[in-house]
Amino acid sequence: MGKEELIEEKVKGYLSRIKAEDKKVNAFLELNGDVLKEARKVDSKKKKGKLFGLVFGVKSNINVLGLKASCASETLKDYKSTYDATVIKKIKEEDGIIIGMLNCDEFASGVSGENSAFGATDNSAAPGRITGGSSSGSAAAVAAGFCDLSLGSDTGGSIRTPASHCGVIGVKPSYGAVSRYGLIDLSMSLDQIGVLGKNVEDCANVLSVIAGKEDRDTSTRDFGKLKMENYGKKKIKIGVLRLRGTDSKIQKVIDSKVKEIVEKLGWNVGEIEIENIELAVETYYPLVYVEFFSGTRRFDGRKYGKKIEDVSGKEVLRRILGGSEISKAEFAGQYYRKALGVKNLISLEFEKAFKKFDCVVSPVTPVLPWKIGQGEKMSLEEIYAADALTCPSNLAGICAISVPAGFVKEGKEEIPVGIQVMCGKGEDGKLLGIAREIEGLSR
């Protein structure tokens, strides 16, 4: 951006692009009618905030005053937010601009973007394919050049998966690093708000603004100031994690990226195993079902319009019915407790891993983005298995990022593939620093 360019002009450019292309992409559910006015206000400022003039799209499960937090659901279709989530308040205070609300899987429940009540989002980096989910619009909007950055939420992979499929950066901060006040829960013990963008530095800039302990979300923790560290000259040790069943074409991209890391950055590499990681998916879902069931009891049709069970899509209904079953008094919480036990084991395993390695790397997803509509024909097990490499870090509460690693060629298509980097709880600054070095290798 030239120094003199007005933010208003930049926003106009984004709006006309959205107008021309979003019919096909379906990234936005609503545009902010005041965005030009807000841009002009920012343009008139003498003292510029840290996010001056950066234009954000926001996942529709985060409250932005006056815009709809529909969660891409019929239930909340007409719910207009009456307040700003903490992350939004902080972004606005630093002169960031919200251009609109983004599509996603209904209540962030999904891995493909196909579960939105308002239609799937198209992957502009691989047209005709899913963007990945649940933050489908958040990745698509950045990839399509509709905004500078976006906010998403990640409970089991919902930022990293679409980032990987769309060839952008996606960061899931450590649990407790960023306030969830104003985020509509999928699963409160796993959800984190995070950022998607075109490069690591932009994302780090945003995270340095939105992170921090806050009384309104008692799960937030004081991890110290979140600041990207410099790994330019440091020699570190990375653990390479493999998952049986990963598409060999994806693994090939990751292996050649790791080779490049060794050759060009001179970092040490070792193989690592995380015990019980194969239980992650079956541990994750009962936790999500139970917490989601409990969280949705307020959507009973009295305050927000339609009762959730009456109008929700199949996946949301499955979670509500499943969660209600698991939570039955006669089971005395045994399934939930068992899942918590394994969650703890996986967490301890990662702690052990980070004693030996500075970070752990792996593919983001074991499968390539499928063609839109194909999800209908897949089994639930197949769909849930797509989270196998991402949900472990949510269970462990650690931070993780997806960085574009390369492409898989399928006929004439070039499908983006991301490499996942994971660091310990509260080590978000280190994660970003490592990611920036990897990002700088080749794109």
Taking the least distance from each CB to ligand GLN, the nearer of 330 and 376 is: 376
Taking the least distance from each CB to ligand GLN, the nearer of 32 and 61 is: 61
Is 283 buried (19+), middle (13-18) or exposed (0-12) by CB count in 10 A?
A: buried
Q: Which stretch binds ligand GLN (CB under 6 A): 9-17, 155-163, 210-218, 406-414?
A: 155-163
Q: 95 to each of 15, 50, 82, 90, 254, how far by Cα in Å?
A: 19, 7, 20, 9, 37
Q: How far is the CB of 3 from ligand GLN (least distance, A)?
A: 39
* DSSP reduced 3-state for 260: helix
Q: How far is the CB of 294 from ligand GLN (least distance, A)?
A: 15
| CA separation for the pair 434, 89 (Å, rounded) | 29
Size, binding site for ligand GLN by CB under 6 A: 14
- Considering the rule CB under 6 A, would residue 363 count as an interface residue with ligand GLN? no
Q: How far is the CB of 415 from ligand GLN (least distance, A)?
A: 19
Q: 378 to each of 20, 127, 170, 381, how far by Cα in Å?
A: 33, 20, 26, 8
Among 81, 123, 158, 199, binds ligand GLN (CB under 6 A): 158
Among 154, 291, 427, 439, binds ligand GLN (CB under 6 A): 154
Taking the least distance from each CB to ligand GLN, the nearer of 61 and 205 is: 61
Query: CA-based angle 88:154:136, to the nearest 5?
Result: 85
Q: 125 to each of 67, 121, 321, 327, 413, how far by Cα in Å?
A: 28, 12, 36, 41, 9
| CA separation for the pair 442, 75 (Å, rounded) | 44
Residues annotated as catalytic are: 59, 134, 158
- Considering the rule CB under 6 A, would residue 122 count as an interface residue with ligand GLN? no
Among 103, 116, 150, 155, binds ligand GLN (CB under 6 A): 155
Close Cβ partners of 273 (under 8 Å, ≥ 6 residues apart) = 241
Pairing mode, if any, of strands 399-410 and 359-363? unpaired
Q: How far is the CB of 192 from ligand GLN (least distance, A)?
A: 9
Q: How far is the CB of 121 from ligand GLN (least distance, A)?
A: 15
Q: Between residue 73 and residue 112, which ones bind ligand GLN under the rule CB under 6 A?
A: 108-111
Instruction: Indicate left, alpha or beta for 40 from its phi (over 0: left) and psi (-120 to 50: alpha).
Output: alpha
- What would the x/- binding string for ligand GLN be over residues 5 to 34, using CB under 6 A? ------------------------------
Instruction: Indicate left, alpha or beta for 238 from its phi (over 0: left) and psi (-120 to 50: alpha).
Output: beta
Taking the least distance from each CB to ligand GLN, the nearer of 155 and 199 is: 155
| CA separation for the pair 404, 221 (Å, rounded) | 29
- Considering the rule CB under 6 A, would residue 291 count as an interface residue with ligand GLN? no
The residue number whose beta carbon is nearest to ligand GLN equals 158
- Considering the rule CB under 6 A, would residue 288 count as an interface residue with ligand GLN? yes
Q: Which stretch binds ligand GLN (CB under 6 A): 38-46, 149-157, 203-211, 407-415?
A: 149-157
Pairing mode, if any, of strands 149-154 and 55-59? parallel
Q: Between residue 381 and residue 400, which ones bind ligand GLN under the rule CB under 6 A?
A: 387
Among 134, 136, 150, 312, binds ligand GLN (CB under 6 A): 134
Close Cβ partners of 100 (under 8 Å, ≥ 6 residues apart) = 18, 28, 29, 30, 31, 32, 35, 57, 58, 67
Taking the least distance from each CB to ligand GLN, the nearer of 95 and 387 is: 387
Query: In which order are the strands placed within the sheet that holds 55-59?
Result: 28-31, 97-102, 55-59, 149-154, 192-197, 169-172, 399-410, 413-423, 359-363, 237-241, 268-272
Q: How far is the CB of 245 from ligand GLN (least distance, A)?
A: 17
Taking the least distance from each CB to ligand GLN, the nearer of 132 and 167 is: 132
- Considering the rule CB under 6 A, would residue 156 count as an interface residue with ligand GLN? yes
| CA separation for the pair 194, 170 (Å, rounded) | 7
Q: Between residue 292 and residue 351, which ones bind ligand GLN under the rule CB under 6 A?
A: none
For residue 404, which phi and psi values (nearest 5 degrees)?
-55, 130
Q: Which stretch binds ligand GLN (CB under 6 A): 154-162, 223-231, 242-250, 364-372?
A: 154-162
The residues of the shown chain that bind ligand GLN, judged by CB under 6 A, are 108-111, 134, 153-158, 186, 288, 387
